[in-house]
A and B are shown apart, each in its own frame.
Chain A
């Protein structure tokens, strides 16, 4: 199987690269031979030959640089999305998929237009928060962290339901975006490492069968500890 870590050196701000490691490991443990390509600005790539495509978070400036570069993949990405390819976009990389991104100075950049939503950045306050998100297709909540300066408007079918943390904009209870097997979320960093059940779900979509759960003891135990810490936090905030 082939995995693609796209913009691996410029969109890798919060340990996002570990998502690819986690996917590589679970597929290998499930008996697959796995190859990982790390590509970046200006590289040739045939997206359709990959079984999984990942892009992580970057600074606002780096995201704009990537936005210019990724345009050449617009139609390929659209075909991949419509064809049900498993793809994950963490942090502000998923804003690339929308209609426009407006920076803090008000400059408007065209997005890839795979979705109709718009993103608007500001440079006054960093919006950061620990997160607990509910998810319809998983047995358990997701944990993680959101670190952004933007608001996304116009997402009708969000990926997650916010129980703790930040939604797509303001008091929005929806977070992220999904179409077919394309998953976009403002959760930053090693989302799949922190949420083994989400990793298992994505791997099962790639494999068309249940993956092996061998060697996942630490990540599973780590998830339980974080979830219980965050639930304690939620109780404190509700009181």
Chain B
């Protein structure tokens, strides 16, 4: 009876909340108050797939849902912004019958890496995807090893891990486990022999802290690593990116499936690989996955093309306080052979909490913009001085850099400044201030 009422109330609150345009965590919060163990009282589907990690989980989850739904599976999944226990509770209960049975084939959960330990106390995933662990929102998260420990607490016996073999810290979750499913990239034509990053989180072995060596770097410290002492090294993969041509926008998975890319970044190909891996595990044919992923454009608004006067451009939503996310965006601009100008905005460090910390700017490899493909660099926002100080320590000539504390002024400057393509790089917290001044392409 208690279960019936809790589910009913959750559904009602969700319905009312939907009408009011409210977020989806409140109904779950109320449900947990009414019945703290409600999640263990519902009947869950055969596949419960959780996705966590520093970067790309929202995109990965969206792609998994897309592939599975296109292949006839029903999927209950949480969209952006509701990945803590309350949001997951709302998701589960609103997908359940009043009798307490979740009606979909797959329950797909994007989980906040710090809170997974609470969420998975009641819902044990059948499969748990961990995409990567980077320096991400360190003002709240501490550091990657701190997050590692938090995620380790959320892994329970009976859950199969699906891990990124190229991330040395993530791979450690698989130590001593026989049934891990590994995904990763073979040596790619875009790989480098030396590290390209402002810092090196792959310098030391996560297990024994002896120095590590790499036979290949995909990007930053992601690649083919091996400890010089304890034998810890990159694991062989079950599902792999076998080739990639970012210029032509094509990737190849498992030596046979070619997928054309709407977004030509290494990031994107890892998210696609993670989604492919999950779909294979659920039983979807590789050919069908490739067909669904070809030219797939994310719906979550991370990448937006726009028009500004006579100029065209792309907004690459990156994450403040997350240097690898910035590096990925900078790499796209650096490699744009037709030539581009770049706009970078740091105005509010976060939209969810207050901090004025800009230490993370020093972890971003802005020297990448010292490229013949990049023309003018426009820096804007409240923290423009900190950006300028950071660029002062790159090799980029000063006369190529323009500074504006005021974002509209920066956009006006770009509108009247030539015809090159524009890459705008900023965070969720600041992108609306930019988008308000340009015309989004439909």
What is A's interface to B at a CB cutoff of 8 Å?
A: 9-10, 12-15, 17-18, 21, 25, 59-62, 65, 123, 126, 128, 130, 143-145, 147, 149, 188-190, 193-194, 215, 218-219, 221-222, 225-226, 229-230, 233
Contacts and interface: CB of A to CB of B under 8 A. Distances in A.
Given A15-B362, A126-B146, A222 B138 contact: no
A189 B142 CA distance: 13
Interface stretch (B91-99, B178-186, B385-393): B385-393
Contacts, number: 98
Contact of A130 (B144, B357, B383, B392): B357
Nearest to A236: B354
Contact of A226 (B356, B388, B393): B356
B4 interface: no
B204 interface: yes
Contact of B362 (A144, A193, A229): A193
Top 5 nearest A-B pairs (CB, nearest first) are: A15-B362, A189-B359, A222-B385, A218-B389, A126-B142
A190 B362 CA distance: 8
B181 to A, nearest CB: 27
Q: Most B CB atoms within 10 A — which of A143, A215, A221, A233?
A: A221
B356 A9 contact: no
Contacts of A222: 358, 383, 385-386, 388-389
Contacts of B386: 218, 222, 225-226
B143 interface: yes
6 contacts: A14-B363, A60-B146, A126-B146, A130-B356, A188-B359, A194-B359
A126 B389 contact: no
A10 B135 CA distance: 14
A15 B360 contact: yes
B142 A9 contact: no
B382 A225 contact: yes
Contact of B145 (A17, A60, A189): A60
Contact of A225 (B146, B363, B385): B385
A15 B141 CA distance: 15
B385 A12 contact: no
B397 to A, nearest CB: 15
| Residue from the set A12, A13, A188, A226 with the largest chain B CB neighbour count within 10 Å | A13
Contacts of A12: 199
Contact of B359 (A10, A15, A60, A229): A15
B22 interface: no
Interface centre among B199, B361, B388 (most CB of A within 10 A): B199
Contact of B146 (A59, A130, A215): A59
Contact of B357 (A18, A189, A215, A219): A189
A147 B382 CA distance: 23
Contact of A145 (B139, B200, B363): B139
A145 B145 CA distance: 19
A62 B385 contact: no
B145 A15 contact: no
B433 interface: no
B299 to A, nearest CB: 33
A128 B385 contact: no
Interface centre among B149, B356, B360 (most CB of A within 10 A): B356
Contact of B392 (A59, A61, A65, A218): A218
B203 interface: yes
